[in-house]
Amino acid sequence: MIDKIYSDALASLQDVQDGATILIGGFGGAGMPHTLIDALIAQGARDLTVVSNNAGNGTTGLAALLAAGRVRKIVCSFPRQADSFVFDELYRSKKIELELVPQGNLVERIRAGGAGIGAFFTPTGYGTALAEGKETREIDGRNYVLEYPIRGDFALIKAEQSDRWGNLTYRMTARNFGPIMASAAKTTVAQVAEVLPLGALNPENVVTPGIFVDRVVKIEGQDGAGR
Amino acid sequence: MSYTKWTRQQMAQRIADDIPDGAVVNIGIGMPEMVANCLPPEKEILLHSENGILGMGPRPEPGQEDGDLINAGKQPVTLLQGGCFFDHSTSFSMMRGGHIDIAILGAFQVAENGDIANWSTGKPDAIPAVGGAMDLAVGAKRVFVMMEHLTKNGQSKIVSQCSYPLTGLGCVTRVYTDLAVLDVTPQGFSVVEMVEGLSLEELERLSGVTLHA
């Protein structure tokens, strides 16, 4: 029998190793898996590389993981925000390494990682500082930059509904990176608001097929943004 | 002769007037956000938001905000009837793949060859952030820039060559400033419109680049 449901978040992250690469879903607060991040902080893994669109907001979620000193390097597109003071301080005091990636390249690199693509040529960033040192090619009169895949040891994402096979639906703009990151990690853990019996999810509405999901944790009550 | 600069509201309205019925538009963070409030109701204009919305609606009434429904600036928004949600890969396929009709971006500098610099001042203490700007710059069918003509120190943001780090090469179509509307052409900047009372010579002097009538 296939049952991917974990009773608690900490149990779902027990095998995260020091030095692991963690893909963390979310765009700002929408889709950020706060419960899983809190569990990762409690679990204690250090020296992490985190791949996420932003570098944390306020003092909760990803910002709390950064503040706990667990992250060596962050790969993201938009670290600087009105409430990114935790990251700002770490960056200015050189306590964290930043790899800045244009947002479309970030998601496409993760998609490539999940889709078995070796590398891809993108027009985004050509001729800019973010493409310095990278291989380029002219194809049909247009210039492209070669970008390589990103894969994670773990992906932590937030979804709306699941079943015990790990099929997922999402809620509004909380979907963002979730379906892509789910495909690109050795172990994908999804926190969900609701677990339904097998067969209760309309198969036409499944956004992430369970093949990309290894563990599901049902959370209780409010978790960060949204519901 | 004296002249009065256009207000941001006037600039936003001027841009909105140029957006045709049926266009799919991505509005950048910052000054361009004002354009959303100026779109004429008689036109059906679809707003795209990079975080997975097509058919984005205005800010909700107080108390109706939902943290799962936000725009690129992380502000609460609504969804219009017919609107939809999608993941980031799909969203950036729309942007990079030439499916967005118009992107409206803010900028530090625009060069006469259409280069745009809008993501970093390059200062050593600055925290860089790029987001989806580079994808929009290369991918949108038309790139409109909305910015003040001069910096606070009076330096022109219309330049012969960008000194700030580039966002995209040769991609800007039209620039809307508080002094003029300029098209980027193979010959350089061409003046579409100027504030009343401003001469081409004076605009050229302020800009420090050759402007074509």
CATH number at residue A212: 3.40.1080.10
CA pair distance B109, B164, nearest whole angstrom:
7
Gap between the terminal Cα atoms of chain B = 19
CA B168 – CA B137 distance, rounded (Å): 6
The CATH number that applies at residue B120 is 3.40.1080.10
Chain A: residue nearest B84 by CA? Answer: A172
Q: Residue A224 falls within a domain, yes or no?
A: no
- As for how many domains chain B has, the answer is 1
User: What is the rounded radius of gyration, in angstroms, for the C-alpha atoms of chain A?
Assistant: 18
From B50, B112, B148, B202, active-site residue: B50
Residue B1 lies in a domain: no
Residue A224 is predicted with a pLDDT of 60
The verdict on residue A223 lying in a domain is: no
Q: 3-state class of A201 per DSSP?
A: coil
Domain region containing B201? 8-212
Burial class (CB in 10 A: 0-12, 13-18, 19+), A74: buried
Q: What is the mean pLDDT of each run of 10 residues along chain B (213 residues)?
A: 94 97 95 92 96 96 96 95 98 98 98 97 88 98 98 97 98 98 98 97 97 94
Residue A223 region, left (φ>0) first, then alpha (ψ -120 to 50), else beta?
beta
Q: Kindly state whether residue B170 falls inside one of the protein's structural domains.
A: yes
Has residue B3 been placed in a domain? no
A127 in contact with chain B, both atoms CB, cutoff 8 A? yes
Extract the tokens encoding A26. Answer: 């979310």
Q: List A residues 176-195 in contact with B (Cβ-Cβ < 8 A).
A: 176-180
Residues in chain B: 213
Q: Which residues of B71-108 are buried (b: 16+ CB within 10 A; e: fewer)?
A: bbbbebbbbbeebebbbbbbbbbbbbeeebbbbbbbbb
pLDDT in tens, chain A (227 residues): 999 999 999 999 999 999 999 999 999 999 999 999 999 999 999 999 999 999 999 999 999 999 999 999 999 999 998 899 999 999 999 999 999 999 999 999 999 999 999 999 999 999 999 999 999 999 999 999 999 999 999 999 999 999 999 999 999 999 999 999 999 999 999 999 999 999 999 999 999 999 999 999 999 876 665 54
Question: Is residue A195 assigned to a domain?
Answer: yes
Nearest alpha-carbon partner for B125 in A150, A128, A2, A88:
A88
For chain A, the domain total comes to 1
Judge contact between B197 and B147, C-beta under 8 A: no
* Residue B41 CA, distance from chain mean position: 20
Residues 6 or more apart whose CB falls under 8 angstroms from that of B17 comprise B40
Among A76, A173, A206, which would you mutate to test the B interface (most chain B Cβ atoms within 10 Å of its Cβ)? A173
| Cα–Cα distance measured from residue B11 to residue B9, given in angstroms and rounded to the nearest whole number | 5
Give the helix/strand (H/E) hosting A76.
Answer: strand A71-76
- Tell me which residue range forms the domain holding A19: 5-218
Residue B190 within any structural domain of the chain: yes
Active site residue B42: no
Question: What percentage of chain B carries pLDDT values higher than 70?
Answer: 100
B132/A102 touch (CB, cutoff 8 Å), yes or no: yes
In a domain, B203, yes or no: yes
Q: Where are the beta strands (DSSP E) in A91-195?
A: 97-100, 120-122, 136-139, 142-147, 152-162, 168-169, 185-195
A42 in a structural domain: yes
Residues A150, A175: contact at Cβ < 8 Å? Answer: no
Closest partner residue to B51 among A80, A111, A173, by Cβ?
A173
